[in-house]
Amino acid sequence: MPELPEVETTCRALAPYLQGQTLQHVAIRAPKLRQPTPAAHLLEGRQVLTLTRRAKYILAGLDDAHTLLIHLGMSGRFSVFPHQGHAHTPTQLTKYPHPPLAKHDHAIFTTPKGELRFNDPRRFGLLLRIPSPELPNHPLLVNLGPEPLEETFTGAVLHAALRGRSAPIKPTLMDNRVVVGVGNIYASESLFAAKLHPSLPAGKLTKTQCTTLAQCIKDVLNKALHTGGSTLRDFRHPTGEAGHFQDEFNVYDRAGEPCHICGTKILQATQAQRSTFWCSVCQSKRRKT
């Protein structure tokens, strides 16, 4: 499942093709993904004024006071086919030697810069057209917590968000109301970096531990961003390259393998229906930090 670094990578890769560009041609081939998709004629001819990310949503602000919200879901990804510097009209574009459409190419956006195809075999993705003024209060966005990569996300903010929570820290970190975009991989990796046991009660973390953890979350996400996100199952870059962050995992998906720090075998357990990985020595519950 694409996580925050992959969505940020996608957003940055799409920007040259979308930001400031007019959607010359839009084809919507699936009337419904997780929710009904917008009709193509409502998007066609619109200019994309802004392209931003909030949590795992890509937001394309259009010039008709609407926003196209894109979520990659479980298996969504974009393929990008640049126009290679030619002048184009929609008629000319059809003659381009782009590969034939794939079975799960559900939406195709053509701008003067290229063709973007949204492919989603499992159809858990979202394409929604939302009036821009309603965006902050939209049910998908209204309860989202802070962005981990922004400066405003600090140990103090995390400490306050965890106060009174008795659930284990690992699934709590994955709660979008606490902090957005820390999915299963990055929760395990951040806790390893912070030397915190994944079962510690979230509300019992000290301010110092929260400061360390907030910094580790930033470091782990930034590292993933610089390596282009992880490639797991369905995720590929919009340009077709694979990410390499999975080569850097310390604990995730490494059950039974030796810890990179101490050599102890990495353990695996299920928390809130998700796999958690940790080192019982580096992340000892009794460890003093």
Per the annotation, the verdict on 274 as an active-site residue is yes
CB 28 within 8 A of CB 40: yes
What is the pattern of x (binds Zn ion, CB under 5 A) and - over residues 250-269? ---------x-xx-x-----
Cβ proximity to Zn ion: between 158 and 279 the closer is 279
Residue 283 Cβ vs Zn ion, minimum distance, rounded to whole Å: 7
CB 72 within 8 A of CB 10: yes
DSSP 8-state class, residue 246: G
Per the annotation, the verdict on 151 as an active-site residue is no
Could you tell me which stretch among 49-57, 143-151, 161-169, 281-289 binds Zn ion (CB under 5 A)? 281-289
Per the annotation, the verdict on 254 as an active-site residue is no
Taking the C-alpha atoms of residue 67 and residue 135, their distance in angstroms, rounded to an integer, is 8
Residue 260 Cβ vs Zn ion, minimum distance, rounded to whole Å: 7
- Site for Zn ion, residues 22 to 81, rule: CB under 5 A: none
What φ, ψ does residue 13 adopt, rounded to 5°? -70, -30
Query: What are the contacts of 250-257 at 24+ separation with CB within 8 A?
Result: 250/189, 250/192, 250/193, 250/279, 251/188, 251/189, 251/192, 251/277, 251/278, 251/279, 252/184, 252/185, 252/188, 252/189, 252/277, 253/277
Cβ proximity to Zn ion: between 64 and 253 the closer is 253
Residue 226 Cβ vs Zn ion, minimum distance, rounded to whole Å: 24
Choice among 3, 6, 115, 189 that is catalytic? 3
Residue 195 Cβ vs Zn ion, minimum distance, rounded to whole Å: 9
CB 230 within 8 A of CB 247: no
What is the pattern of x (binds Zn ion, CB under 5 A) and - over residues 203-242? ----------------------------------------
Residue 219's CB is within 10 A of a number of other CB atoms, namely 14
One residue of 174, 180, 182, 279 binding Zn ion per CB under 5 A: 279
Choice among 46, 53, 56, 254 that is catalytic? 56
Per the annotation, the verdict on 56 as an active-site residue is yes
Taking the C-alpha atoms of residue 75 and residue 155, their distance in angstroms, rounded to an integer, is 32
| 3-class DSSP assignment, residue 182 | coil
Residue 131 burial class via C-beta count within 10 angstroms: exposed 0-12, middle 13-18, buried 19 and up: exposed
What the block records as the tokens of 81 is 């086919």
Nearest residue to Zn ion on Cβ basis: 259
Residue 289 Cβ vs Zn ion, minimum distance, rounded to whole Å: 14
- How many binding residues for Zn ion (CB under 5 A)? 7
Would you tell me which residues interact with Zn ion (CB under 5 A)? 259, 261-262, 264, 279, 281-282
Which residues are known catalytic residues? Answer: 2-3, 56, 274
